[in-house]
Amino acid sequence: MTPPERRPFVVHVDDDPDQLNSWRLLVARRGRIDLEVHHPNAIRMEHLERAELVLVDFALERWPERDRLDSIALKPSNGIALLSLLKEALSSDATRRRPAFALYTAVIQDVAMDLVQQPHVVAHAHNIEWIFQKTHPSLELRAEQVENLASTIMNLPHPWPADSSSEAASTLRTWLGIDGGESWHDAAWSSVRRCRPPMHEYAQHTDGLALVRWLLHRILPYPAFLIGEEHLAARLRVSLPSLKAALPTEAFAKIFEPVEFRNGLTRMSGRRWWRAGVEDAVFEIARTAPQDLDTLHRELKERLPELEPSPEADLFPVLSEQLDFEGELANGSEIVEILPDYWPPFADCAWTRKSVLANSSHLRTIAVGQQEGE
Amino acid sequence: MPGLRFRFKDLADECEAIKGYASAFLDHQYIGRLSEARGNLETIQAKVAPGRKVTWEIPKDRPLCTNWSDGEFERDGGGGHQIRAEISFAWEITPEAPAGGKPKCFVLEGLASTAVVIVERLEDGSERPLGRWTMDVGDEASPGCHFHVQVCHQDEPPFPKTLPVPRFPSMALSPFFAIDFVLGELFQDRWKTESAAGGNHADRWRVIQQSRLVRFLDWQIATLKRATGSPWMALKEAKPPLNLVVERAS
C-alpha cells in the first residue's frame, strides 16, 4: 500500500455516485491512489487542483439541476462536454500542473459513433487522454490502469525543461528508460526521434502531458519503436500462439525482460518491447549468423522449446474490422495492406486478411488497391 | 590500409531515407527487410568488437522487392514484360576501434556485393527470372574497376561465374544506391517524376547521395588528370582512398 502522502489523487465525476461504491471500495482496498467520486454538482475547483487524473462518466442523465436550465450553453450534455468545461476551468492557472482527463464509460460505442471502438482513437478524436471502459470484465485491471495513469502524471518531470534541447532529450530518455546503460539504447533513442516526440514546446506547455498522450495515442497502439506480442512473433518468425505460450517462462524473461518497455501505461495497451532491444537480443541469440533464419530458429528452439518456428520468410500481424490484432499471424499471400486514417507514417504497415474484406465495407474502403483509380 | 571507410550513421540514415523516398515503388510486404537491415547495422555498431569482420546483409533468400512494373521500363510504359526487381546485398564490414565509446565507422573490405534479379510475372501468374546483375565494390587485389557491375555471374552461361569479365564501371557506393538505380530503370517515367519531388525523405536522400557522388567524381577526375597512359586504364586500375566516402565534398 502506498503511503497516503505519496498517493496520486483521482476525482471521478458520475451522475450516480452510489452505483460506484464497489469501484470506490476496491480502489481504497488497493491503496495506491486516493479516489473521490462526486456528482457533477459537487465538483469544486479544489478537486481539480489536487487531481492527477479526472475521470468523467459519458452518459450524464441524472442531473436535474442541469435539465432545469434553459440556456444550452450552461448544459453540458454529456461527459465530453463536461470534460472540456473542467479542463478550461483549470487552464487559467498556468503555474499549476495539469491533470489528465479521461472518460469512464460503459458506452464507448456512443462516444465512438462511426470511429472504430479503440480507446486511443476515440480519445484522440475528443482531445482527452484515455477512455476507460466500465464493461471490461476485470475490475482489478481497470483499477490498475487508472492507478498507473495517475501515477505516471504525478511522476512526470515538473517543470519540463524548456530552455535546453539536450536537457529535454535527456529528460525524455530517462523517462522512457533508455538513458544509455545498454548497448541498444542509442539505437532505441534514434528510433524514438524518428517518431517526433513532442518534447520541447508542447511538453513545456502541457507539463509533459503531451508526452503521455503521444505515448498512449501514437506509440503504444502501433508498431514503431515499441512492438507488441504480434510483431515480436513476426520478427522471430514464430507462431503467435507459441509465443504467447512462451511469455510466462523464465527462459523468455531471461532473453527479453532486459528489453521490455517498463512503464505503467503499458497496462492500457499490453506488453511492449523495444524494437532496438529485440534486434540486440536476436543478434546475441544468433551471433554466428544473425540474419540467417535457420540459425535463429535453431538457437531459439534450444532456449524456448515452446516456440513454433514458421517456414515463411515473413509473417504479418493482421487487423480485424475494429482494428484489433488477430490471434494468428498471416503469410504474404493472405494479406492486403490497409491505410486507417490515423495510422502513423512512422509505424510499420497495417495489414488485414484478404478473406476479411468481403465482409467489411470499412476495411474495403481503406484497403490499398481496392479504391477506384488505383 | 585497404578497404573503404563508412560511417555507421550515414548508412543507417541512408537506409531510412530510401525507405521513405521509394516507399511508393517498393512492395510493402518486403519493406520491413530494410528496417531489419538498419536494425542489424545498429546492432553491429553496438555489439561487434572492433577489428572483427561481420557480414551485414539483406539475404538473397529474403530480398527487398520493388512493385511490379507493367512495361514501365520503356518510356510511356511500352515494355512487353511485367517485371520487378529483387534486391539483396552482403557486405563484409569491420568496425573500427574508437577513440572512446562505440565505433563510429567501419571499413568495408572483402565481400561487398549487391545483387539485383529481374523477375517476370507471366500470364498464368508464375514467375521466372529474366536477368541478374551485381553491383560490387572491389578490394585491393581485385582486377577491373573498383566499383563495378557484373552481369549474370551464375553457374551457367551466358556470363557464367568462371567468366568474371566484363566488369562495367559503376558509381554504386552503397547497397541503397542500387535501389535508386533500379527504380529509374524499371519505372522510367514515374520515378523520374517522383524522384524530382521535394519532401523530407527526398531531401535527406539527396544530401547523402550528392556529397558522396561528388567525392567519387572528384576522385575520378583527379585520376584522369594524373593519367600518363590510357585514361581508361587509369580509371580501371585506380583504387580509392580509404576516406573517399567519409571526407567532405569540396
- Is the separation of the CB atoms in A198 and A210 below 8 Å? yes
User: B40–A283: do the CB atoms touch at under 8 Å?
Assistant: yes
Divide the 250 residues of chain B into consecutive groups of 10 and give the mean pLDDT of each group.
Answer: 89 95 96 96 94 95 97 92 97 88 91 96 94 93 90 83 90 95 96 89 93 95 94 95 76
Q: Tens of pLDDT along B70-110?
A: 999 999 888 899 999 999 999 999 999 877 678 999 999 98
Distance CA A248, CA A263 (A): 18
- Is the separation of the CB atoms in B147 and B169 below 8 Å? yes
> CB neighbours of B214 closer than 8 A, spacing ≥ 6?
B249, B250
CB-nearest partner of A291 from B16, B42, B59: B59
CA B46 to mean position of chain CA atoms = 23
User: B46–A280: do the CB atoms touch at under 8 Å?
Assistant: yes
User: A275–B39: do the CB atoms touch at under 8 Å?
Assistant: yes
Q: Please give the model's pTM, rounded to 2 decimal places.
A: 0.92
- Is the separation of the CB atoms in A76 and A95 below 8 Å? no
Distance CA B81, CA A355 (A): 30
User: B40–A187: do the CB atoms touch at under 8 Å?
Assistant: no
What would the DSSP string read from start to end of A299-337? Answer: HHHHH-TT--B-SSS--B--B-TTSPBPSS-B-GGGEEE
> CB neighbours of B219 closer than 8 A, spacing ≥ 6?
B238, B240, B241, B244
Report which of A211, A216, A215, A192 is spatially closest to residue A201, judged by C-alpha positions.
A211
Interface test with B, best of A225, A291, A297, A368 (most B CBs within 10 A): A291
CA A65 to mean position of chain CA atoms = 36
Q: Tens of pLDDT along A19-52?
A: 999 999 999 999 999 999 999 999 999 999 999 9
- Is the separation of the CB atoms in A60 and A40 below 8 Å? yes
Distance CA A264, CA A248 (A): 19
The DSSP H or E segment spanning A167 is: helix A165-176
CA A267 to mean position of chain CA atoms = 8
B11: cell is 548508412
Report which of B59, B95, B32 is spatially closest to residue A295, judged by C-alpha positions.
B59
Divide the 374 residues of chain A into consecutive groups of 10 and give the mean pLDDT of each group.
Answer: 82 95 94 96 93 95 93 92 91 75 91 90 94 87 94 90 88 91 93 94 88 96 97 98 97 97 88 97 91 94 96 95 94 95 94 93 89 50
Report which of A91, A16, A7 is spatially closest to residue A51, judged by C-alpha positions.
A7
Q: What angle do CA A167, A185, A165 make, to 5 degrees?
A: 15
Strands B147-151 and B82-95: unpaired
